[in-house]
Structures are given as structure tokens and as C-alpha cells.
Amino acid sequence: MKNLKVFSESRAAVNLQAESEELLVSALDVEQNRIFFASSANIIYGINLSASQQEMQWTINLCLQSELGLPPILEAEDRITGLDYLIEQEALIVGTSTGDLVLVVPTSNTVDVVGKVEGGVKTIASSPDGALLIVATGFGQLLAMTQDWDVLYEVSYDLDNNLETFMSGTRADGISGLSSPFSQVRVSWRGDGKYFATLGCSGNSEGLQRLRIWERESGTLHSSSEPKDFMEAAMDWMPSGAKVAAACNTSKTKNCASVAFFERNGLERGSFDIYGTTEAKIEMLKWNCNSELLAALVRYDEWSSIQIWSFSNYHWYLKQEWRYLGKNKLMFAWDPERPMRAICWTAYGLVHLLTLCWSSAVYDASIAIVIDGVNVLVTPLSLSLVPPPMSHFNIMFQSAVQSVAFTSRGLESHLAVGLSDGNLSIVKFPNMNMWDQLEGTVYETVNVDPGSLIKIEFGDLRHLTWLDPYVILGVMHCDGDQTSLYSDFISNNWRKCPLMSGGNNGVSILVEMELVCNNVEEVEPGCLSSSGWVVKSSMHTVIESSVVAIAANPMTRCEAFIQLGNGDIVSYMSKEGINIAPAELYKEKRSNLKGFLSYCPWMYPIPVYDYGKLKVLIFGLDEDGRLQVNGQVICSTCTSFSFYASAAGKVQEVVTHLIYTTRQDLLIVANIDEIFHGDVHYESMGNGQSPVGFGNKLQGENKLIREGNHDELKVWERGAKLIGIINGDEAAVILQTVRGNLEVIYPRKLVLLAIAGALVDKRFKDAVSLVRQHRINYNIIVDYCGWQSFVEAASEFVRKINNLSHITEFVCALKHENVMETLYKDILLPNHQDNKIECGSQIFLSNTDSPLEFGNQTIIKRLEPGNEIVSKNCKVRAVLEAVRKVLEEEVSKSPARELCILTTLACNDPPELEEALKRIKKWRETEIASTMNEVDGGLHKLNLSAEEALKHLLWLSEPDAVFHAALGLYDLHLAAIVALNSQRDPKEFLPFLQELENMPSPVMCYTIDCKLCRYESALKNIAAAGDAYFEECLQLMKSNPKLFALGLDIFKDVGKRAVILEAWGDHLFSEERFEEAAMAYCSTCSFQKALGSFRAGGLWKEALTMAGMLRLTTDEVSSLANDLCEELQALGKPAEAAKIALGYCKDVQGAINLLLTAREWLEALRIGFLYDMGELVKSQVKLAAIECANLLILEYEEGIEKVGKYLARYLAVRQRRLLLAAKLEMEGKAKEDVDDDTFSETSSNISGMSAYTLGKASNASGNLSTSSTGSHVRTRIRTRRKVHGGKIRAGR
């Protein structure tokens, strides 16, 4: 979906030396950008297409006598019939009607006759590589000549007539050969130069000709077509080599001319008809250098036109038509290197250069308006996504369409169309809500009454742009001396603007027209209207510069931005003209209006928010693929771009995202805020190319796009381009492939943005619809604004959704995970911070601290900073409780509602299966009662059976969990129903249920509780069974020690409590909780067991106390003290052992030795002096202290040595890693690809560093140990690299 427009044009004139002189043939010099013409006076003119008017003329007359007095090269009656430029020799080869081949060197003005052929020269065509020259003679011969003018071969191109026929001048059918109307010959090469085609021989008796394909090397006829009525020898081979285009005369069958396409084998493959009447004749066909466009030169009775055709989706479109009035001869050529540059000239020397560009056919409100000759194909993409040539409806005009301009502001939509006959047509569209009625219709239009407007002779108005629904602006280009031609028409409304530094490429006239619709006829609602439009007034402004593009200001009516030829941008105000100081003006008003680094044919201004203020950003894309804004290059490989506005449907659409494609077939979604403020730097793919870079952080070539960036998508088909965006909740990106079909994708970032906007506006139905359509995680509905806010809006959520199936899906998808922190962390920022939800101009604030009761939990809305974990764990339960409450209170009773409530219970965390089964049990009882006519069961009227509800619950939950929940209700009948509906084998559960049924009620409950691991309930139930089951109670407590405390609360009998306490003490002793076990034993007066527990725990004071409680003898206490002393020494408590030895064993020397072992020097001295052993103790203490000091000094010295070695090793490793990283960076390798395990292991082995040794490992066992552990070391290093990313890190 694209249209072809002229964005730049210039004119030049060849100063012919005689009035009757006409230009006949031409040749292009690509290297020096020159074009040469040969005239009927045998004069060769040269024009430099890039020079100014005064410097571009070059002439040489081949009929004049040379300066040396030599005769002229050509006689007066001779005519130039062929002309080509030889790149290798930088010279022109000229062929004449008498057969002369003349070499002309423009740089030295030298002329040389290099050969002569019999029969005269019809045409000359050099091969694409310039190594071979094909000359067609008047005798029907093809001569293949080298650059040295040697003839390689000579063949006849007219196989229907022999050489004698041409020489005699009479064909077999009696018609003169030399005067035949089929005397024109056309030679066209294939792009690779292996084949060439010819057309234009005399033909057979019926005037039919054949298209012939020849081989380059031998001149052998490769193939030929069937005889057809070809027209004017108009033929050209597509440079890509796929097809040969030839003009055919089909006026007898189709009342029009047509263009047929032939393959290399001569078979016809497709055709299309030329617009026009039967008098239309195709004189020339030309492909552009990239085979994308086909130009047809068509002559009518009153004018000649150049039609530009394009092929897409198996259809040929007429994209442009330029009409030239009069009967003077018109010629055309494409630039051989610039595919979108066209050159037109007339026989009298007027040269017209036009530069074309493709423009998107998708306009405001995602409306596609595609030009196809006299038709405009209109398709609102938001209603029907169909590619051309199909369309929603068709508008037919009176002549071919050159340019279109569409505006849609409010309820009014207007289409302005510039026609090739110089007329203007305006079409008024109905309200878009009524466009469904237009599907499949064809509407014929009428032209605008020009009124006081100048009627441009050739339809030269370019860049049509609406400033207002009734004001339109266009540009007309003319040379400086041509402005006087228009002064008579616009003397009253003429304004002249000073030079805008836009380059001296002629003069541009801005034409502003104010329109009025005087249609008195009533238009039916939903219909188009084009009658009654009149130009009320017009104003013209002259700019001494070329105009590249015009775009209306999206923020202000009656204002437009105009881009000049050098990329500068000026503003234009209706009724006022050009603003020559836009930068200063917009700095004060809305934005800095900066130009582009180079001219950009594609320019789009967009409204954006900057810190709450509405401003304008102007984006531009130049021919080299540089996407620019504010004097910065965003992307250097851009192919197409568009914008997304998330605020669709509001009064002012504000663009939030830029979407563009690159030559690497990437689709990039960029945030406008990041571009505007220069906060983000997108980087390239790591392949030497740099797609993008933003703002002030643009520093040369960019680097690697971070892995996992969701802002880019890989386009699945090469060459696909972005043609449009559907704004708002649709969030659709429309791509068109090279072959023409349309593809729609929904970038995740835009979809999430649309969902976020719907949630902030509390449009829950739209949000759920987007989530379901694009398979987004349902948790975003809760997590985006925070679950606390969602709980508050639960009633509104249920009411607006109004679809219980969708609510059920939402309930089933809820998880504790916060997707805004995990799944969509890098795509969308959450809209809640410190309990405030803010988006755009709307703010939601949880300003209440009242608690919410959910089951047995209390949840506070306003959470403190440390309560994040509580918040996460409460999310599912809180949301489901809120939804269930709304369903029960506000939604009318229905089967779907009951199933939805069951879903909220089953999906709760933890699942409330017992509550769900209670509801099902209640429904079942109601059904039974209703069946027995005991009550009028209200729920039974809902047509929801308990069995259906149970099946729904089983589908949501694990069958085993539901079965266990049924057992937990102690309802064996319900458990049996659950088991049957869960497809269990009756042999598995019936015996168990029958066994339970035969048990006493407490024992049955106890058995069920044990099976369900509900041991507290089991203890209570078995305790209620009587004293006969006390032993089972005791065993249950022993197997579940946590029940001992509950058992003490249940049993009040002293004897039973003693048994429970002693069993509890045994359990604590087995778990080595000796002090607690001793306390339990003491509670039952089991002092002997308590003594053993204290001894086992090393509690000597409590143990000796228990000895007193047991009334042990002195010897028994002394023996116990000795045992405790030894045990404490073994436990590493010599100071405690010293106390026992001194206090209970009366061993002073032993106590002193124990104190020295514990390094209690002062306490040892005190005891020695107390018992008159001072001198002995001094010597012992001194020796022990010296020995201890020496040991500490030795350990300190070893530690210093180890630290030194560690530091040397660290510095060496750090230096080696830095050197390795620098080397890899110079070689361009990735650091992750290098495994430096060898370096680390070798260095470790050489240094001999170890945390436990001081010397180097030199013995065999040490080497063996190092080798055996090497593999384990490598494994650990690789594991560490996987965790840390495997990057080389500098030491710290």
C-alpha cells in the first residue's frame, strides 16, 4: 500500500541553433551525470544535469568544416539515427542514415570516423559491460562489434525477408522495404549481458512481427515469440532479466493499447491495458534500473503522456501520469544508477528532471488510499484488512490521479486529488461509522470549479496538504524566469519570500486555496459527495528554493511545516505565509523546530508530551535510510517508519511510540519519551551494523542490543515494510511484503500498553478482551495497578465484564507471581508506587487504612515497607474472596454464577475444597428435597445439578484432593459420589468406605484424620472414643511429638499426664534435647532419668543437684564428680572441670593443671597462693605462658607469609586477566569464547599456594593429588562461569 509521488523536480532547456531543429536520439553519461542529444541538424548537445543553467551547455556540429580545413564529417542530407555513450573510451558513438560510425570525444571535441556499414544505421546499443556494440543496419543485419571496431559476427534480424529484398527496397508482399512503417528497430540487452532482444523488423504480410532473443557470444537466435501486432518497436528488457516488455496494438479487440510480457523462451506471460482511447499509441517502454517501475510513453491526439506503472500482488498499477500538451515529440529515460530519477525532454529542447519516491498510502485513522490510474482504492484498515487491488470501495476520477491528500478532523473527512489533466477534485466522506454501507461501491466524481485559481497546464501542483477541512496547500515548481508567466494571474495575492538557503534549484510557488462547498443537492447519509466545490480564494507565495515536503501541524489548524531542499524546515501559516524565524518562535511556544542533516522526502510531525506540555517532534527519513529527529540520527538503516498513539479516541491523539523497520529486517518499537529526552541508547546486532542510537548518547557506531530486549522483532520475510499502525486498543502493526500481501502483527509492548491504558481507565472489558485475544497473562489485570486497588474495584470489574465465562478464565489464571516484576519487567513499568497508581492525568490512591477480612486473615490495604512478602502471599486469596463476594451479592443466580463461585473456591491458595463440597452437598440435599416435594428447591430451578457442579470441581482440582476433602467432611456417601465421578475403580475405595462405615463414629473420624494427616483432629477424636483407646493416643503422640502439648490439654488425669510427660521426656532425650528432657522427667519425679539427661548434656551443676535429690553417699558423689570432670575435659571445658576437681574431688594440683590448660593464668595463681603452693605455681604458670606465647608468634608469622603469597598471586592473576581481556578486545573476539582454565590451574600448581601448607608440593603423592583433582577443579570453574555469565572480570 504505497503511492508514487514527485518530491523534487527541475527543468533545463537545450539552446537549439535553428527553429526547425529537433532532438532525435540521446545518450547518458552516468559517471559525469551528463546527457547528450543528437538533433536533426546533426548537432550534438550535452547538458550537465547537476550544473547551473549557465554552465551546462556543450555542442559540436558534425556538419561544419574542421579548423584544419578538412571536409565535414557528415553531409547535409545525412541524419543521425543512433547514439550511445562508451564508458571505457569516454566517448560518443554516432550512427548515421548513410552508415557512418563516428566516434566523438566530448572532452577534447575530437571527431573520428571509425567505420561504415551498408544500408545505414538503424540503432546502436552497447552491452551492459560496454565490451560489445550491437549495430542494426537498414538491410536487416545485426553487427556485433568490439571496442576495437572488429566485427565478431553478422546476422539477419529480419528472418522473414532476405538481404536482396532490403537491397532492392521491395518486400515479398510488394511493399517497399526502406519506406516500410516497420522500419524502426529496437535492441535491448538483458541486465547480465548474456542475451539481447530485437523488435521492429518489417514483419509479414499481415503486419505482424516477432520478438526475437539472441545469444551474445555467437549471435545465434535463442528464441522468438509468436507473430503479434507490436506497436512502434516499443520494447525493453527488465534489468533483472525476468521479463521483456513490449507494446502491442490491441485496439481491435480491447479498444486500447496494451503491454505484454515475454520470457526468454519467447512465451508470453501476462499483460495489462493502457488507459485511454483507441488513438493511444505506445512509443516507448523503459524499465528503471531496479526493475521496479515501468515507464510508458503514450501519444494521444492532443497530448503525450508518460505513465509510470508498478506491479504488486499480481496487478499492474498506474501510479503517475505526466501530460505534455501539443504534438511535439516527447522522449523519456531513467537514470541508470538512481532508480527513482526520471528524465523527460521534448523534441524542441525542454528537459524535465523528476525525482520520485514511494509514500505510504495509509493516512489518518488508518485509512488506505491507493492510486491506480483513474481509480483511488479506499480501505479503512480498522474495518477490513484487504490488500490492493482489492478495496473496501472505489472512487473513479475523470483522469489519472497524480497526488492525493486526506484529512480527518472530528467528524469531517475530505480527500483532495490532483489529476494529470491539471484539475483538482474534492471528495467528502461520510461519518466513518457509516462506511460499512460503502463496501463494494464505485463512486464517480466531478472536478472542482477553479474560480479565480490558475489552471496549471500540466498539473504541476505537488505536495497537496490540508491545512484545514476547507484550506489546502500545494507547491508548483518553476524556473526563476518562469515566474513572470504566472504574475498576471496572481498579482493581487502574490507574496515573495526571501531566499531560504534551500539551494538554487529554481523557484517554488506555494499555492494556498480556500474552498467552499456550494452543493445544494441533498446527499444521502452514508454516501460520498464531490459536487459543488469551488475555489473561493487563493494566495501564492514564492520561495527561491525547492520544496521537498509539506506536512500539516497536528497541533494547530491552518499551519504547516515546509522542508526546503537542504533539509531546513520553515513554518507556513494560512493567510500569513512563511515564518522566516521558526526556531525562535517555536522555542517560545512549543518546541525547537530543527531541520534535518539532509533532505528527507518522508517527513512527519507528531504531537508528544514533554513533562505534561504538548509539543511537536518532526521526524524525517532520507534516501540513505537515516531516520532523523531534532538534528539527531535515530537509525542509519531505516526502511520505513510509523507512529503509535495509545490515546486513540480522545480529543487529542498523542504519539507514544515510534515503530520502524531496518535493512536487517528488524521491527523496532521505541518509546517517544526516551527519544525526546535522549535517555535510551538502542544498539546494534553485533555484526558490524548499527541500526539505531538515540539522543545525546549517540556516539558513532552503536553496540550490541541487550539480549532479551522485547523492543525488537525479527521480520519473517525479507524486504517487508511498515505501512501503517492501528492506534488505540487495536495496537496493530501492518506490514506489506515485497509480493504485495498484508501481514498484521501485534507487538507485545504495544499490546501491553493498550491493556495498561484500559486498566487505568477502568475499561475492564476491553482489557480482558485484549488479554484473551493476544494470550497475555491474566495476572497483569491485577498486578499492573496492584492487587489492593483491584480488590477495591472488584465490583466494577465483575459488572463491566458481564461474562461469567471470562471471569472463570481470569480466576483460573491467578497466581501469586507478580508479572510486572517477572514476565513483563523489561516491557512495561508497573503503575503503582507507594500505593499510588498514576497514568496520564488519572491518579488512584489507596487512602484508607481500614483492614479487609478474608477468611481467617486480615489484610491491610496500605502496606508498610516491610510487608511485601505478606502482600504477595495474600494476592490470590484476597482477589478471589473479593470476586466471590461480588458474585454472591450482585450477580443474579444462574448455573454459570454457581460454577464461577466454585472456581473461586477451587483456585484459592490453599484451595477451599471443603467449602466447595459443602456447597455441592447443600445443592444435593436441596435436589433430593425438591424431588420428594418437601420444599420448593430454588436452586433446582437453576438447572444446575450437584453432579455437574462436582464434575466442574473435579476438572479444576486433583481428584485425589477432592476425594480427601470429601472424607474430611466425614460424609462417606459424598466421598463415594466423588470417587465414582473421578473414575476410580470401586474395588479401590468401596472396601475402605465400608470399613469406615462399620467403625464407631469417633474411631471413623480418627481413621480418616490419620489418612489425611490431620493428627490434631485425630487425637481429639480418638481421645473421645474412651479410655480403651488411650494406648493408641499415646502411640499417636509418640509418632507425632507435636501432639504432646495437645495431649496434656486433653487428658486431665494425673496418671495419664505422668505417662505422657515421661514419653515426651524420652522423645526429647532421643533428640538430644537433654535439658528439656530432664525437665519433663523432673515433672514426673523420675530423678534418675533426669540425672542421666543432665550428665548427657554436660550440665554438671544440675547433675550434682539431682545427686542430692537422690540422696547419694559421699563416695557415690565423689565418683560422680570424677566422672563429670573427665567428661568435661573431653568436651573441651577444662575450666569447668577444674571447679569440680577443686570443690568435690579436693585435688588442688589437678585443678591448677586444668586451669593452665584453659589458659586461666590468674585463676591458677589465685588457687596456688590460696593453698600455699605459690612458688610451684609460678614456675608452672611461667613455663606454660611462654610456650603459649611462642605458639601464637609462630602462627602470626605463618599468617603474614600466607597473606604475602595470596597478594602476589592475586596481583598476577588480575594482571593476566586484564592483558587477556585487552588482547581479545583488539582481536574482536567474545570474552565468553575463551576458556582460561589452563592458565588458572598451571599458575596454581607452580605457586603451590594452599590454605593449609607453606611449601611447594614436590613429592609424588602431591602431584598425584593435584592431577586427580584437576577435573573437579575444572568442573567447579565451569559451573561458576555458567552462574556468572562466563565473562572475564577485572580484579578488585
Residue 1226 has a pLDDT of 79
Q: What is the pLDDT of residue 202?
A: 59
Q: Are 1043 and 1013 in contact (CB under 8 A)?
A: no
847 dihedral zone (left: phi>0; alpha: psi -120 to 50; beta): alpha
pLDDT tens for each residue of 106-127: 888 888 888 888 888 999 999 9
User: In 3-state terms, what secondary structure has residue 612?
Assistant: coil
> What does the pLDDT read at residue 239?
92
Reduced to 3 states, what is the DSSP secondary structure of residue 1060? helix
**Whole-number Å distance between alpha carbons of 922 and 966:** 13
Q: Which helix (H) or strand (E) holds 94?
A: strand 91-96
Spatial contact of 82 and 143, defined as CB atoms under 8 Å apart = no
pLDDT of residue 1201: 93
Per-residue model confidence (pLDDT) at position 847: 32
Compare 287 and 555 and report the one with higher pLDDT. 287
Tell me how crowded residue 240 is: count the other CB atoms within 10 A of its CB.
14
Tell me the average pLDDT across 39-48. 87
Residue 542 phi/psi, 5° resolution? -95, 130
Residue 727 has pLDDT above 80, yes or no: yes
Residue of 371 and 654 predicted with greater confidence:
371
Q: What local confidence, expressed as pLDDT, does residue 490 receive?
A: 41
Of residues 343, 348, 344, the one with CA closest to residue 328: 348
Side chain identity at residue 1225, one-letter code:
E
Amino acid at 91: A
The band of 201, judged by pLDDT with boundaries at 50, 70 and 90, is low
| Each residue's pLDDT tens digit, 664-720 | 889 988 888 877 766 544 433 333 333 344 333 333 333 223 333 347 888 888 888
Instruction: Note the pLDDT of residue 66.
Output: 52
**Long-range contacts made by residues 612-619, C-beta under 8 angstroms, separation at least 24?**
614/555, 614/590, 614/652, 614/654, 615/590, 615/591, 616/553, 616/554, 616/555, 616/586, 616/590, 616/591, 617/591, 617/655, 617/672, 617/675, 617/676, 618/551, 618/561, 618/569, 618/593, 618/594, 619/643, 619/658
Residues 1068, 1077: contact at Cβ < 8 Å?
yes
Q: 1261-1271 b/e with 16+ CB inside 10 Å = b?
A: ebeeeeeeeee
- Residue 939 to residue 925: CA distance in whole angstroms: 11
C-alpha cell at 859: 489484610
DSSP-assigned states of every residue in 1242-1285: HHHHHHT--SS-SS---SHHHHHHHHHHHHHHHHHHHHHHHHHT
Ranges 541-545, 869-873, 1093-1097: which has the least confidence: 869-873
Of 853, 843, 848, the C-alpha closest to 863 is 848
What letters, b where the CB count within 10 A reaches 16 and e where it falls short, cover 541-553? bbbbbbbbbbbbb
Question: Mean pLDDT: which of 87-91, 260-264, 798-802 is highest?
Answer: 260-264
Assign 982 to helix, strand or coil: coil
pLDDT in tens, 477-522: 775 444 444 444 444 444 555 444 444 456 788 888 888 887 756 6
Q: Is the pLDDT of residue 251 over 70?
A: no
Higher pLDDT, 1250 or 1132: 1132
Q: Which residue pairs, CB below 8 angstroms and at least 24 apart, start in 294-303? A: 294/236, 294/245, 294/259, 295/332, 295/334, 295/342, 296/234, 296/247, 296/259, 297/234, 297/330, 297/331, 297/332, 298/257, 298/274, 299/330, 300/276, 302/327
Q: What is the mean pLDDT of the segment spanning 970-976?
A: 83
Q: How far apart are the first and last CA of the chain?
A: 58
**pLDDT higher than 70, residue 901:** yes
Provide the pLDDT for residue 480: 46
Q: Which of 736-745, 1160-1169, 1222-1231 has the lowest mean pLDDT?
A: 1222-1231
Question: DSSP letters of 555-575?
Answer: SSTTEEEEEETTS-EEEEETT
Q: Which of 212-216, 381-385, 1097-1101, 1122-1126 has the highest mean pLDDT?
A: 212-216
Q: Give the least confident one: 171-185, 244-258, 454-468.
A: 171-185
More reliable by pLDDT, 1 or 238: 238
DSSP state of 688: S
> Residue 495 has which C-alpha cell?
507574496
Least confident of 357-361, 471-475, 479-483: 479-483
**How confident is the model over 1037-1064, as pLDDT tens digits?**
888 888 888 888 888 888 888 888 888 8
Mind listing the pLDDT tens digit for each residue in 1057-1091?
888 888 888 888 888 888 888 888 888 888 888 88
List the grid coordinates of 441.
Answer: 461501491
Following DSSP, what letter does each residue of 280-301 receive, concatenated?
-EEEEEEE-TTS-EEEEEEE-S
Mean pLDDT of the chain: 77
* 936 beta partners: none
Bridge partners of residue 83, in order along the sequence: 94
Q: Is the peptide bond before 389 cis (omega within 30 degrees of 0)?
A: yes
Q: Which stretches within 619-747 are classed as H helix? A: 672-677
Considering only residues 612 and 753, tell me which one the structure prediction assigns the higher pLDDT: 753
pLDDT of residue 1121: 81
- The three-class DSSP label of residue 729 is helix
Q: How many CA atoms lie within 13 A of 783 on its CB side?
A: 25
Res 204: pLDDT: 58
Three-state DSSP at 689 gives coil
Residue 237 pLDDT greater than 90, yes or no: yes
Rg (CA), the chain: 48
pLDDT band at 152 (very low <50, low <70, confident <90, very high): very high
Q: Higher-confidence residue: 274 or 68?
A: 274
| pLDDT tier, 205 (very low <50, low <70, confident <90, very high otherwise) | low
548-593 pLDDT, tens per residue? 889 988 888 888 898 888 888 888 888 887 775 444 444 444 444 6
**What's the pLDDT score for residue 867?**
41
Least confident residue range of 498-507, 695-704, 776-785, 918-927: 695-704
pTM value? 0.73
Q: What pLDDT sits at residue 1239?
A: 43
- pLDDT tens, 1173-1209? 877 777 888 888 888 889 999 999 999 999 999 999 9
**Which amino acid makes up residue 501?**
S
Q: 440: buried, middle or exposed (CB in 10 Å: 19+, 13-18, 0-12)?
A: exposed
DSSP β-bridge partners for residue 668: 660, 712
CA atoms within 13 A on the CB side of 901: 21
pLDDT at res. 649:
42
Would you state the pLDDT for residue 836? 36
CA distance 282 to 278: 11
pLDDT of 762 > 50? The answer is yes
